[in-house]
Amino acid sequence: MKMEHIKNGALYYNNITGRVERVIGKVSPVRALTYWHHTEEKSHNVKVLRKANQLEVENYLNGGDIPTLKKRILNTINKLFNKSDKLKFKVS
């Protein structure tokens, strides 16, 4: 993939990490900044990215690629903070 085809906010499959990641910026003419569920920001060469297909996008948006333990922990944290309405963590 070439940098001119990369769009901020779009989901791409990363061949290096083996998962879908969201592009959040351009670092250089050949590198894009990505993150996975608002964590693990890293820059990658755009050659290792391809547009995510519909099934991959749905899986990412439903949180199907988040390990079960992490989901349970984030849900528990959200329940605790929802009582106080001060801070909320996003569970994707």
CATH number for region 3-84? 2.30.30
Strands 31-36 and 39-45, by their bridges, are: antiparallel
Please give the structure tokens belonging to residue 8: 């901020």
- Taking the C-alpha atoms of residue 78 and residue 73, their distance in angstroms, rounded to an integer, is 9
CA gyration radius for the chain?
A: 15
Tell me: pLDDT of 89 over 60.
Answer: no
Give pLDDT, residue 75: 77
Grade residue 88 by pLDDT with cuts at 50, 70 and 90.
Answer: low
Average pLDDT over residues 51-57: 95
Average pLDDT over residues 29-53: 93
Q: Within its chain, how far is the Cα of 90 from the centroid?
A: 12
Q: Rounded to the nearest 5°, which phi and psi values hold at 3?
A: -60, -35
